[in-house]
Structure 1
Amino acid sequence: MNNARVLFVCLGNICRSPMAEAVFRSLVEKRRLTDVIEIDSAGTGDWHIGKPPHEGTRKQLDLHGISYAGMKARQFTAQDKTFDYIVCMDTKNEADVRRIIGDASHSAKIFKFMDMLPQAAEDDVPDPYYTGNFDYVYELVTEGCERLLDRIVNDLK
């Protein structure tokens, strides 16, 4: 099996993308694929660099026994184009990622997280920093991460 590098991207890298990183990491560990899949997250903005995940994200992860140990916000850069999968939490994040990477050739598959959940009413993962609805975001992230992992495992065959 080949290896895959996955990067989740949101605006500040304290709510949605670190939640997805932690949930996805937990799923990868359960399937014993940690030696095959590398996981990270980043934000398109620089406001929270070096800060841990938001309290609401930490509460959800604690509630479900998912570790976020050592996670700190960082900003997305053009060098991140080396990831195989760049999973953006909303339409604006995807546009920003494509702008930052530019037209240079890159092999990353860039797409919106909600592409994993085509049946959902949402086009974007709602930002709980503004909505306060961390429970709902956790539900979306969990289902989407399960489907993403299945997709990646299938791609690596």
Structure 2
Amino acid sequence: MKTPTRILMVCLGNICRSPLAEYVLRQQLQQAGLAAYVQVASAGTSGWHNGENMHQGSLKTLQQHGIDPSGFRSRQVCTHDGQDFDYLIAMDNDNLAELERLFGRQPDKIFKITDLTPALGYDHVPDPYYTGDFDETHRIVSAAAAVLVQRLQQA
């Protein structure tokens, strides 16, 4: 039996952007019939929120889109993530730089989520912790997740 593809979504604190991306991608994989073949998790480059639930804005946004946000606990990226995951997908340049510092430059494995959707015109996912715009975050990660699902279907 083929081992599942493993994807880690990464932001700074693992309470806003990466949990949204994790749960949106899970839903899209489920809808595409790929949930048994792809595992998705998330982590933060900092440990500021280790063990916490996701931000209320992320919770509400997921619920508004019919996604169950239960079962989440924030965690920090750790040394074995580089081996345990097939893809480490960063939300911004700082997250990408930290992942590359930890695991080396591997553009086929470690990249920004917005690299999947250049037509959207974003070079990073703005942090709704500061912007307050969780809908914007949802739009960006949903579009990127759709591209990722399509690529996984073709693989």
TM-score range, shorter chain: over 0.9
- 2:150 aligned residue: 150
- 1:97 aligned residue: 99
Tell me the distance in 1 between the aligned counterparts of 2:93 and 2:113: 9
Q: Could you list the runs of 5+ residues in structure 1 that have no partner in the other structure?
A: none
Preserved CA contact (<8 Å) 2:15 2:49: yes
RMSD: 1.8
Preserved CA contact (<8 Å) 2:51 2:75: yes
* 4+ residue segments displaced more than 3 Å: none
Does the residue aligned with 1:78 lie in a helix, a strand or coil?
coil
- 2:48 aligned residue: 47
Tell me the distance in 2 between the aligned counterparts of 1:152 and 1:93: 23
% same residue: 42
Q: Structure 1 length as normaliser, TM-score? A: 0.91
1:79-98 to 2 correspondence within 5 Å?
79-82=80-83, 83-98=85-100
Tell me the distance in 1 between the aligned counterparts of 2:131 and 2:30: 30
Tell me the distance in 1 between the aligned counterparts of 2:92 and 2:134: 16
Q: Could you list the runs of 5+ residues in structure 2 that have no partner in the other structure?
A: none
- 1:72 aligned residue: 73
Deviations 1:76-109 (A, max 9, x none): 0121012111110001101001112247xx8971
Matched to 2:82, the amino acid is K
Deviations 1:13-44 (A, max 9, x none): 00000000000011111122221101100000
Deviation at 1:152, TM superposition (A): 2.0
Deviations 1:120-152 (A, max 9, x none): 221000000011010111111111101111112
Tell me the distance in 2 between the aligned counterparts of 1:4 and 1:23: 16
